[in-house]
Amino acid sequence: MFVIVLLVVFSICIATGGGNVKVTFTSSHDPPIIAEGDTAVFNCSSNHSLVLINWILNETVSASTLTSLGVIVNGAATPVSSLIIPGLVDPFNDTEVQCVAFGFGIGDFSPSSVTLKVQGIPAPVDNLTLSYYSCCYTFSWIAPFTLPGFPILNYNVSVTSNDEMINQAKLNDSVIQWIYYPKEVATHTFSIAAVNNVGEGKISNLPMEKNEINDTELIDQYLDYESQNHIIDIKISRKDAEFKNCIFNHVALDCTDSNAIFNSSNITNDAFVTFNISAADKVHKVTTHITLQSGLVVNSDSSNPLSLSKF
């Protein structure tokens, strides 16, 4: 600290005069941006024997006091010196590095300082959102900030249920959206991490609710006099949202008081389903059994069946 005070005082009192003194300041990386775990080397030298080199970080801290953090100063207070700083995001990212070149009775020849930046693993992705449409989940995000020279290489995404891996993928760096079609009724968790050449970044998680049928509503029921069959129209809803624009491969009604199963005769994209049931069948209560194009099979709550009028 004593040396720092003297440098400041003398540089103020003797600011000019030095003849042909030349000070050269270089760094191993230009610009001084390194990866976490790498090393930055700064070199500073003077062509005058009385101009001595010291190193100051963030305007006040002598680099020689930071040896416990892995900082190495070679040739301190000599005309030729080097400074080695380890690639630690904390505490060296955004560190101002100053080569102080001062000659007593000659002047201050310190070059401009530079700022060292250290890039670690990527931060979590920004603005991770989930939307539900056409019986699939769509995840969107914004790439996290990274320093120049350390682009996002790819994204690692996965879907888990009860800590079991259900699906995983490696997406290219230009992808900022991913669509997932659930294959089973369960609570899923979507996870994503950006990857740069330092490593995989911090993971972001987003839960997905179960694809449960919340309601099966009887819309209409009448007798087709020509066929003498009963026509039943129902509407199916999922929890907190309709099955709007879902692609249904198959919908069936399972009778709760018999082994009878009735298959749909017409399915619309807005979850209206029509059944053409023989009048000979006596249907009392049914549950709904849906097979979606994605392969997901969804059943309504058997403890709350849909009641149909007796034919």
Confirm whether pTM is higher than 0.85.
no
Assess contact for 73 and 64: CB atoms under 8 A: yes
Short-list 124, 279, 271, CA closest to 206: 124
Q: What is the pLDDT of residue 246?
A: 66
Average pLDDT (39-45) is 96
Per-residue confidence (pLDDT) for residue 182, from 0 to 100: 77
pLDDT tens for 132-173 read 766 778 899 999 999 999 999 999 999 998 888 988 999 999
- pLDDT of the residue at 301: 72
From first CA to last CA, the distance across the chain in angstroms is 98
Residue 308 amino acid letter: L
The lowest-confidence range among 74-88, 91-105, 116-130, 268-282 is 268-282
- 107 has pLDDT over 80: yes
Domains and CATH numbers, the chain: 2-119 (2.60.40.10), 126-208 (2.60.40.10), 213-307 (2.60.40)
* Contacts of residue 83, Cβ cutoff 8 Å, sequence gap at least 6: 41, 42, 43, 44, 55, 63, 71, 72, 73, 74, 97, 99
pLDDT for position 24: 94
Coil vs helix vs strand at 6: helix
Higher pLDDT, 270 or 191: 191
pLDDT above 90: percentage of residues in the chain:
49
The pLDDT, as a whole number, for residue 90 is 94
pLDDT at 282: 66
- The Cα 178–Cα 175 span in angstroms is 8
Residue 245 has pLDDT above 80, yes or no: no
Query: Over the stretch 50-67, which tens digit does the pLDDT of each residue have?
Result: 999 999 999 999 999 999
Say whether pLDDT at 4 is over 60.
no
| Confidence label for 8 from pLDDT (cuts 50, 70 and 90) | very low
Q: What is the mean pLDDT of the chain?
A: 81
Between residues 243 and 67, the one the model is more confident about: 67
Q: Which of 24-33, 99-108, 131-140, 224-233 shows the lowest per-residue confidence on average (mean pLDDT)?
A: 224-233
pLDDT at 257: 74
Confidence of residue 19 (pLDDT cuts 50, 70, 90): low
Q: Is the pLDDT of residue 13 over 50?
A: no
Nearest Cα to Cα of residue 204 among 213, 215, 191:
191
